[in-house]
Amino acid sequence: MVAVLASAPEPVTTGLAIELRNVSHAYDLPSGRLAVLENIDLVIEPGTCVALLGPSGSGKSTLLRLVAGLEQPETGSVLADGVPVEKPDPSRVLVFQDPTLFPWRTVRRNVALGLEAQGRLKTEGHRIDEAIARVRLTEFADAFPHQLSGGMAQRAALARALVNDPRLLLLDEPLGKLDQLTRLTMQGELLSLWQQSGFTALLVTHDVEEALLLADRVIIFSDRPARILGERRVELPHPRHRGGAELIALRREILQLLGVSEAI
Amino acid sequence: MADTTQTAGGALASSALFGDIWRNGLLAAASWLLAAAVTVGFTDVVPWGQTKLFALLLVIGAGAFLELAFTVHRLGAIGRKLVHYGPWWIALGLWLAAWEVSTAKLGWLPKPFFSPPQGLLHVYLTDWDRLLVCVLYSLRLWGLGFFSGIAIGFIVGVALGWSKRFSYWGMPLLKLIGPVPASAWIPSAFFIFPTTFGASIFLVALASGIPVIILTASGVASVNRSLYDVARTLGADRRFLVLKVAIPAALPNVFVGLFMGLYSSFAVLVIAEMLGAKYGLGWYLQFQTAYSAYANVYAALILMALLCSGLVKLLFVGRDRLLGWQKGIVQW
């Protein structure tokens, strides 16, 4: 597996620096205003992997949508390399909890979406098969999404993101719906993809262990409206071990910050 | 023995091959021969023309089944299809014999409303040129109406589903006018349009267009929003979102609209031809009924059945091509 991953050509990507300045956001719902983000200040250094950890439905996904440029914050600003984010761009790709593959397209044509939309299919089409190989789906390149397992579908979604050589990968609980075994395998795969490529990664998760295994920094969010409760740096080399003493200590601290009882 | 249980077990089970002999083929040959014997063995109550020719065709059919009984297993896919419909061939022969007896031979069914099979054969042989012209006229009117209707319907449907402003003004109109049957427009259409042909095209287009508009609009409006988000983050512009996301995602709905439109286009086509055409199958039905030429009416009805079911079949083929990816998700 490592051999397959290593044989893929090394893309020359430099991670994007992200800065959120005093960002607040709310949605107008029929039932009234729903504040989801409150005064978020956050600086993410290029090439790092940062985990956003917090209770489900707290507004972390909204934060990703703002960074992706799918929505504009109500107040405050989102900067990518110092430039305000105004609209989506293929350099900042979002991977959702659901693979959201296009059901009428084969894996290959799903992966081709980005290049097709940017009119680069003719010149850079060869990268499609490379991206599919990177996520080990070569045998399933001509399969339709409904023929894939959950893990394979999510890997296809990853390939669809990676084919654009993103400088920032936004991962919205990408492993949230997978079974435990697939989840563990894919954590390793995500890690090696990130290590190879040099993009900045922003990972939303509510799994403390996942955050600690993958990220350089873990930002802890409160319940909605989300505020930053604190953060922890994880200065451990990869691969990290779930049972390691430092990890367990960090896990305890984070759970305390979130107000979850020790027994869990 | 397995074969005795099959004989007792009913028609479908007996489609299995009996050694190398297709037993239902033999039975079909026998039933067709029976029909032929009835046809020539008794005299017609009144002369219907092609009695001998009809009997000859039945004998040829019986001969074909007799040969197929020994060769069908060598015919591959076609052979398997013939074998599958074995019980139908037997029933067809029996039904033709019963039809023959009750009309031509005994005159049980009242004349002139019921014609024996040789009466229909007579119509096809003597009036084929007029029937052919009528088929072509019907196809022309249907084609012009249906294709312009679904083309406009599709475009309007996409616009309604996509654009909020278009939907604001268009939806109330569609909800008001959509449920009105297209046939209700016939009187006004015939005097608004300069020619009845133009009016007929409009009516067929309306009948096929409305369901396509409604289903396309709801299909486009109900596309999973995340698909748009994915496409936008990958660099898609509006054009891409409409053409490569909204429309393919709505296509299963569009096809439901196409099937509904196809069926209602047939209905309006025939009414329009009955009221305002100089040729066409609808006109032919109307014209021949006026002359009590019921054999001609049945002959035209059979042609119409073949034509309409052929067009439905074509639409199915088109759907299978475009929506092949749905296999395994949706039960067809």
Highest-pLDDT range among A73-77, A210-214, B28-32, B110-114: B28-32
Distance (Å, whole) CA A54 – CA A220 = 6
Is residue B78's pLDDT more than 60?
yes
The residue of chain B nearest to residue A94, with distances taken between CA atoms, is: B233
Q: B39 and B100 in contact (C-beta within 8 Å)?
A: yes
B259 and B138 both lie in a single domain: yes
Contacts of B246 in chain A (CB under 8 A): none
Query: Between chains, do A70 and B232 touch, taking CB under 8 Å as contact?
Result: yes
Is residue B3's pLDDT more than 50?
no
Single out the residue of A117, A90, A91, A88 nearest to residue A102, CA to CA.
Answer: A117
- Comparing CB atoms, the residue among A104, A117, A147 nearest residue B234 is A117
**Average pLDDT of span B5-22:** 52
Q: Establish whether the linkage from the previous residue to A90 is cis, with ω within 30° of 0.
A: no
Q: A128 and A161 in contact (C-beta within 8 Å)?
A: no
**Average pLDDT of span A134-161:** 89
Q: Last residue of some domain: B95, B117, B139?
A: B117
Q: Where is pLDDT greater, at B53 or A207? A: B53
Specify burial of residue B41 (Cβ count, 10 A radius: 0-12, 13-18, 19+): exposed
What pLDDT, on the 0 to 100 scale, is given for residue A54?
84
Whether B331 is covered by a domain: the verdict is no
Q: Where is pLDDT greater, at A13 or B214? A: B214
What pLDDT, on the 0 to 100 scale, is given for residue A15?
86
B50 and B84 both lie in a single domain: yes
3-state SS class at B112:
coil
The count of domains in chain B is: 2
B220 and B285 both lie in a single domain: yes
B235 and B296 both lie in a single domain: yes
Single out the residue of A214, A205, A160 nearest to residue A187, CA to CA.
Answer: A214
Whether B5 is covered by a domain: the verdict is no
Contacts of B245 in chain A (CB under 8 A): 102
Question: Does any CB of chain A come closer than 8 Å to the CB of residue B231?
Answer: yes
B230 and B101 both lie in a single domain: no
Quickly tell me which residue has 């031979």 as its tokens: B105
Query: Between chains, do B248 and A104 touch, taking CB under 8 Å as contact?
Result: yes
The alpha carbon of B222 is separated from its chain's Cα centroid by a whole number of angstroms, namely: 31
B23 and B164 both lie in a single domain: no
Distance (Å, whole) CA B1 – CA A72 = 78
The residue of chain A nearest to residue B328, with distances taken between CA atoms, is: A146
- DSSP-assigned beta bridge partners for residue A94: A170
Average pLDDT, chain B: 88
CATH number of the domain at A2-101+168-257, please? 3.40.50.300
What pLDDT, on the 0 to 100 scale, is given for residue A12?
52
Single out the residue of A76, A213, A100, A14 nearest to residue B234, CA to CA.
Answer: A100
Is residue B182's pLDDT more than 60?
yes
Distance (Å, whole) CA A208 – CA A234 = 12
Is residue A108's pLDDT more than 80?
yes
B206 and B315 both lie in a single domain: yes
Quickly tell me which residue has 């039932």 as its tokens: A31
- Comparing CB atoms, the residue among A69, A92, A100 nearest residue B230 is A100
Q: Where is pLDDT greater, at A241 or B248? A: B248
Structure letter (DSSP) for residue A72: -
- Comparing CB atoms, the residue among B224, B233, B323 nearest residue A93 is B233
Confidence of residue B187 (pLDDT cuts 50, 70, 90): confident
Q: Last residue of some domain: B90, B117, B144?
A: B117
Confidence of residue B5 (pLDDT cuts 50, 70, 90): very low
Q: Where is pLDDT greater, at B5 or A243? A: A243
Q: What angle is formed at CA A119 by the lines to CA A115 and CA A120, rounded to 5 degrees? A: 55
What pLDDT, on the 0 to 100 scale, is given for residue A221?
86
Contacts of B241 in chain A (CB under 8 A): none
CA of A86, closest CA in chain B: separation in Å? 12
Whether B328 is covered by a domain: the verdict is no
Name the percent of chain A lying above pLDDT 70. Answer: 94
Confidence of residue B296 (pLDDT cuts 50, 70, 90): very high
What pLDDT, on the 0 to 100 scale, is given for residue A157?
92
Question: Does any CB of chain A come closer than 8 Å to the CB of residue B252?
Answer: no
Residues B223-255 have pLDDT tens digits of: 998 999 999 999 899 999 999 999 999 999 999
DSSP H or E stretch at residue B17: none
Is residue B267's pLDDT more than 60?
yes
Contacts of B326 in chain A (CB under 8 A): 103-104
Whether B274 is covered by a domain: the verdict is yes
**Average pLDDT of span B199-220:** 94
Contacts of A164 in chain B (CB under 8 A): 234-235
Contacts of B231 in chain A (CB under 8 A): 113, 117
Q: B24 and B80 in contact (C-beta within 8 Å)?
A: no
Q: Last residue of some domain: B57, B84, B117?
A: B117
B140 and B110 both lie in a single domain: no
ipTM of the complex: 0.85
Residues A141-152 have pLDDT tens digits of: 999 999 898 888
Distance (Å, whole) CA A187 – CA A67 = 23
CATH number of the domain encompassing residue B250: 1.10.3720.10
Average pLDDT, chain A: 84
Confidence of residue B94 (pLDDT cuts 50, 70, 90): very high
Question: Does any CB of chain A come closer than 8 Å to the CB of residue B232?
Answer: yes
Is residue A39's pLDDT more than 60?
yes
The torsion region of residue A165 among left (phi > 0), alpha (psi -120 to 50) and beta comes to left
What pLDDT, on the 0 to 100 scale, is given for residue A9?
47
B139 and B250 both lie in a single domain: yes
E strands within A6-100?
A: 18-29, 32-44, 49-53, 75-80, 83-84, 92-95
Quickly tell me which residue has 């109550």 as its tokens: B45
Residue B172 token pair: 């109330």
Is residue B14's pLDDT more than 60?
no
What pLDDT, on the 0 to 100 scale, is given for residue B49?
77
Query: Between chains, do B235 and A114 touch, taking CB under 8 Å as contact?
Result: yes
Is residue B8's pLDDT more than 80?
no
3-state SS class at B56:
helix
Is residue B35's pLDDT more than 80?
yes
What pLDDT, on the 0 to 100 scale, is given for residue A5?
47
Q: A178 and A205 in contact (C-beta within 8 Å)?
A: no
Confidence of residue B17 (pLDDT cuts 50, 70, 90): very low
Specify burial of residue A6 (Cβ count, 10 A radius: 0-12, 13-18, 19+): exposed
The residue of chain B nearest to residue A161, with distances taken between CA atoms, is: B234
Contacts of A64 in chain B (CB under 8 A): none
B270 and B156 both lie in a single domain: yes
**B230, B237, B327, B330: best to mutate for the A interface, most A CBs within 10 A:** B230
Domain range spanning residue B26? 13-117
Given the DSSP bridges, would you call strands A75-80 and A83-84 parallel, antiparallel or unpaired? antiparallel
B208 and B82 both lie in a single domain: no
B242 and B177 both lie in a single domain: yes
- Of A9-13, A191-195, B306-310, least confident by mean pLDDT is A9-13
Name the percent of chain B lying above pLDDT 90. Answer: 67
Q: How many CB pairs under 8 A join A and B?
A: 69
Distance (Å, whole) CA A127 – CA B308 = 48
Residues B130-151 have pLDDT tens digits of: 999 999 999 999 999 999 999 9
Question: Does any CB of chain A come closer than 8 Å to the CB of residue B324?
Answer: no
Whether B27 is covered by a domain: the verdict is yes
Laid out side by side, the sheet with A18-29 consists of A32-44, A18-29, A75-80, A83-84
